[in-house]
A and B are shown apart, each in its own frame.
Chain A
Amino acid sequence: MTNDRNRPRIALFCMALLLGWFAIATILAETVAPKAQQISQDLTLVDSASNASMVAWLAAVAPLRGDLLADIAMAQAAPAVNRGRSPASSEIIAARELALASARQSLALAPHSSSIWLLTAMLQNEARPSDSNAEVLKMSYLTAPADMSLVPARLAIATASAALADDELRNLVRGDIRLILTRRPDLKATIASSYRRGAPGGKAVIDDVVRSLDPGFAATLR
């Protein structure tokens, strides 16, 4: 009888603890996690401190938060992404693997994040250039087909990748180029820079689409 009377009180106490813990954990996690960012047009990221212990801590206090893990992956990837064409040191390789692991962990919780699919493709391409990233790149297109803030970086990464051998991916890249030429001519410079950095297959795709839509601009590419 006494147990029956106490049961609602125990339930309320548990609920209070649960709500309090979740609220405080969320506030802490949001405060500590690095600021959200996207891969810039010149394929760089803002360098900010983030390490493996932070990932473990965040995963423990704020479970299932793919968005926060995405921010951490971006921060962790900065040293590897920003090094340009200089050779990768052991620290850079370690940072890249850490960022890749965080990005994959984030995608396993929130597979809608187009920018993290793009980051994963970029890091995988650097780690194992011979492997095809076609499926990963396609996910970046499928999850945000018209996000203009992602189009420049996506075009640069896709046209430099061996994954462009995939027919479906090639069509998606063509779509991005068409989108720029028809709706955002202010981003034409990104087509030119992707052409300069691109692999031979990527250059051919750009050339093909630009020539059909804007022959004048096509002439300036070469």
Chain B
Amino acid sequence: MNRARNVTICFALLVVLIAMAPVIAIAPVWLAPQLVMIAVALMLLLLPSLPEADFLHSLTIFRPLAVAAALPAAWIILQIVPVPLGSIEHPVWRSAAAALPEITWGHVSIDLGSTLRGLFSYLSLISLAFSTCVVTRNRDRAETTLFALCTITTFIAVELLLFRQFPLHSGNSQDAPDSLVALAAFGAILNLAFVVRTTERHDARARSSRTYVGMLLLGAFGAALCLTALFLSTTYNVVIATGFGMAVLCLVALIRRLSLGRWTAATVSTALVVAWGGIVVLRSAANPAVSPILRFAKNDSPDGGAATLRMLSDSNWSGSGIGTYQALAAIYGEAARSAGESAIHTIALMALEWGQFGLLICFFLLAQLLVILERGALRRGRDFFFAAGAAASLVTAFFEAYCDNSFTDITVQMLASIVVGLGLAQTTGRHAA
């Protein structure tokens, strides 16, 4: 009885988190991550009382990711711990030590409090992905979660269209639309996954055609709405990034539908990657006056771009600490501050805050996630669309990271964690793990 109640509470917390996404997007910057953290802590407390098999299977699914997921946390801790002056610390500590005799050690991070908050945010996102995985091992709950994600992201796409018509938004004027754009991009992919799911269920259970067509139209309408919002509110580069993600989902569906052999599937996948490369090169060539790293950026202010390049050229392998972009931009003067409260795009921000080594660690985690999700999608039975949708969302997030700073927003990070957790949960069947 208690166990059933705990499952219900845990699942309700997950759905509430998804439903609260638009509220979290406009909550004060210091409050939003804490609200997510409290919800995740409650979910973690309830997890052990969920069905034993789901819990153990989720542990098995996460085991190959353990090292890749622990590395970023270890890296952030390294940015906080004291190091001898003259070693790997940020240069500002050396200057500070000359002015204040009590500073005898340096740190990689220039703001230990912000970096500590970054560490806890990261831990809460990993925990959220794991909690989602345990809760959505059950297929019914997984489908409800997918439906909730589709609904909220489509609602956000409508919000984006309304913002375009009635620009009432105030406050984080730069960040909020970017985060809404990223969520609309996820919406296009998830709605497509919903369409695939409807087709799969129809094939398997032969439901009445009226329900089938209704659900199919619902998903297609959601995807069309999200794509329309993207076309009208953002740059073509973000739309292309969304297209890349949708292509991943379509590719997996195609491989499964046509029962392609291993080598044929590999050939088609390679052709897709080559096509992506061609599109990236063409888009890059269209903007030759700008530095290659900034060619896809939505914010193309020359001052902001020049300041970002100056910061990037001075950055080193260890970075300035997670959550320190604004402090770093202040050191670089007016031009860097004029670029906005956040960096020109997520990759630039990560290169500055995480450092080149930290960026590599994150790419490693992303690559491992993609491999596990893709492998799961190809091996899984009729529920493959969960893992394929999650992989597609990650591909879009990766390419969009070169276009805007949406992935630095807690709402986008939270929904991405839930999508990944959902995808990982369904990489294996309940009896197969």
Contacts and interface: CB of A to CB of B under 8 A. Distances in A.
| A and B interact physically | yes
Interface string B36-73: 01101110110110000001000100000000000000
Contact of A19 (B44, B48, B93, B328): B44
Nearest to A19: B41
B258 interface: no
Interface of B: 30-31, 33-35, 37-38, 40-42, 44-45, 47-48, 55, 59, 80, 92-93, 95-96, 98-100, 102-103, 110-114, 116-117, 120, 123-124, 127, 324, 327-328, 330-331, 333-334, 337
A147 B120 contact: no
Given A12-B45, A27-B34, A67-B113, 15 more contacts: A12-B44, A15-B127, A16-B45, A17-B41, A19-B120, A23-B120, A67-B114, A107-B103, A109-B111, A110-B110, A111-B93, A139-B95, A143-B92, A144-B330, A147-B330
Contacts of A136: 99-100
A218 B127 CA distance: 63
Contacts of B44: 12-13, 15-16, 19
A127 to B, nearest CB: 15
A142 interface: yes
Interface residues of A, number: 45
A112 B113 contact: no
Contacts of A177: none
A12 B123 CA distance: 11
A23 B42 CA distance: 12
A145 B102 CA distance: 24
Contacts of B31: 27, 30
A112 B95 CA distance: 11
Given A8-B59, A112-B331, A143-B92, A63 B116 contact: yes
Given A22-B37, A27-B34, A139-B96, A64 B331 contact: no
A24 interface: yes
A19 B30 contact: no
Given A15-B123, A108-B100, A20 B38 contact: yes
B306 to A, nearest CB: 14
Contacts of A8: 55, 59
A148 B99 CA distance: 23
A112 B92 contact: yes
Contacts of A110: 110-114, 327
Interface in A1-52: 8-9, 12-13, 15-20, 22-24, 26-27, 30
